[in-house]
Amino acid sequence: MNCVQCHKEIAEYSNFCYYCGARQISAPSAAPRPQKRLMRSSTDYKLGGVCGGLAEYLDVDSTIVRLIWVVLILFPFPLIPAVLGYFVAWLVIPQAPPPIPVEVSAQPAESGHGSAQTA
């Protein structure tokens, strides 16, 4: 990208020119990213989807979140507050919408070997 004022080469993501300090006005190059929301998972769940949703929100494996939850239940906290906390999270965190199914095309795969069957 070139600066609109001094016409020197600057990085694409720059809001200001490194050389002259002019504000760069550019159209967004991509669609705006959707804001992350903490939601219970509708696909990765064992009980209520709380750990799966937390794992999706934090971009980690859900097994790790479940293991950490079990460790937190057993060691620093008594069982009742930890289970109550999970139940409250189950009630408070909204359910994620189910994923949209991807339709598989009904066309057969073409083969270049001429394997047409004749009767």
Decide if 95 contacts 44 (C-beta within 8 A).
Answer: no
Query: Domain range spanning residue 9?
Result: 1-26
76 lies in some domain: yes
Write down the pTM of the prediction: 0.54
Give the chain's domain count: 2
Q: Count H helices and E strands in the chain, helices first.
A: 3, 0
pLDDT tens for residues 18-60? 788 888 886 555 555 677 888 888 888 888 889 899 998 999 9
pLDDT tens for residues 58-94? 999 999 999 988 887 887 667 777 788 888 989 998 8
112 lies in some domain: no
64 lies in some domain: yes
39 lies in some domain: no
113 lies in some domain: no
